[in-house]
Structure 1
């Protein structure tokens, strides 16, 4: 029988994969993170919440290295981020040493509350934007 964190992960990821993400990807000003699928090589677009600070975009993954987009970043850190309807190329960096809970306080409130509520293994991600 799966533990509480594993069950939470399964429920939340199914909801996101089949309901929330397909809807959110269609919203013109939803922030999207585009990674390259580690097996398929195809672009994978994930709605994310975060904030641009200077030449960096910051976000927190709610499931750490269990998140598919984080696993894609581990395989290939070259990403694109759509911020306010405009695409930016960048290099993603996983920051396990960063205090993800503290980082959430500097990011958009609604998304941060959801990440805190549903997340089981928080991980800070910084995208260094090239353009």
Structure 2
């Protein structure tokens, strides 16, 4: 029960405060998915790392995250890295250890994911351009 309340408070803060501010920053990394119900682009600020032609990140709420549900419906995504958009295909990596993965990702974001996350899930985006 306490975990559900923490999830709701965290999601409410992210949706109404943090994400709105972060999306406005020109060099904030963004993940763009297609809304599974609306068909409209949905942009989510997040942290992760590009490794070659892949972009890795960890979802703090796993399959309960709306952007993860969007990926499950349509894995075609765009990622904005350093102000430039890249297209790609997202893959949920269930057999990856997200706690280990976070050690290789930007520490500021990883701290937040570790602190507030309750159902961590690794995601890999294979970048096309």
TM-score normalized by the length of structure 1: 0.98
Secondary structure in structure 1 of the residue aligned to 2:86: strand
Instruction: Give the C-alpha shift of residue 47 in structure 1.
Output: 0.1
**Count of aligned pairs:** 129
Matching residue within 64, 67, 72 for 1:66: 64
CA deviation profile, 1:97-123 (whole Å, cap 9, x unmatched): 100000000000000010000000000
Report the equivalent of 2:8: 10
CA deviation profile, 1:45-94 (whole Å, cap 9, x unmatched): 00010000000000000000010000000000000000000000000000
Where in structure 1 do 4 or more consecutive aligned residues deviate above 3 Å?
Answer: none
Give the Cα–Cα distance (whole angstroms) in 1 for the partners of residues 20 and 107 of structure 2.
22
Gap runs ≥5 in structure 2: none
RMSD (CA atoms)? 0.4
Give the Cα–Cα distance (whole angstroms) in 1 for the partners of residues 63 and 5 of structure 2.
16
Matching residue within 79, 87, 96 for 1:81: 79
Instruction: Give the C-alpha shift of residue 4 in structure 1.
Output: 1.6
TM-score normalized by the length of structure 2: 0.99
Gap runs ≥5 in structure 1: none
Report the equivalent of 1:26: 24
